[in-house]
């Protein structure tokens, strides 16, 4: 089950569509979904988590805590709305498109995809683009 939680004032208009889209991506990657919690927060909140849990003193758009048991996906996924908004402006894309990219990015990490090397980043971007193309909502 995918749940959306809000530390920052923000809410989806189409949460059911987004949840169904993410669930379909999980199934297509041959995983099963358990408890997946998206927590939408601000930069300050996510920076605090980044420092405390990952010892990184940098801003980021997403932190994914992986609690998977084999092919059963369970996670807390924290997303900074501030970072997503700034990145949408930086890359000249709609906020919703950038947010969806970050959301599927977290799911892909939980499905085993990495993004440390150039090759991994390329594959991750291809997968993101593929799943973004499958959205039936905008």
Residues whose CB falls within 8 Å of the CB of residue 99, separated by 6 or more in sequence, listed in order: 79, 81, 84, 88
C-beta of residue 10 within 8 angstroms of C-beta of residue 47: no
Q: Which residues contact 46 (CB under 8 A, 6 or more apart)?
A: 59, 60, 63, 78, 79, 80, 83
The verdict on whether residue 53 carries a ligand-binding annotation is no
Q: Is 109 a known ligand-binding residue?
A: yes
Is 115 part of any known ligand binding site?
yes
Work out whether the CA dihedral 81, 131, 128, 70 comes out positive or negative. Answer: positive
Binding residues: 105, 109, 115
Binding residues for Zn(2+): 105, 109, 115
């Amino acid at each position: 089950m995918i749940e959306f939680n809000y530390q920052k004032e923000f809410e989806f208009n189409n949460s059911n569509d987004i949840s169904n889209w993410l669930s379909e991506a999980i199934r297509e990657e041959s995983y099963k979904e358990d408890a997946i919690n998206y927590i939408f927060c601000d930069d300050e909140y996510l920076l605090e988590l980044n420092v405390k849990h990952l010892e990184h003193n940098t801003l980021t758009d997403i932190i994914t805590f992986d609690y998977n048991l084999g092919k059963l996906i369970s996670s807390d996924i924290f997303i900074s709305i501030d970072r997503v908004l700034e990145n949408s402006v930086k890359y000249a894309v709609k906020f919703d498109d950038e947010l969806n990219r970050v959301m599927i990015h977290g799911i892909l990490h939980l499905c085993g995809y990495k993004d440390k090397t150039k090759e991994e980043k390329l594959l991750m971007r291809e997968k993101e683009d593929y799943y973004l193309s499958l959205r039936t909502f905008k």
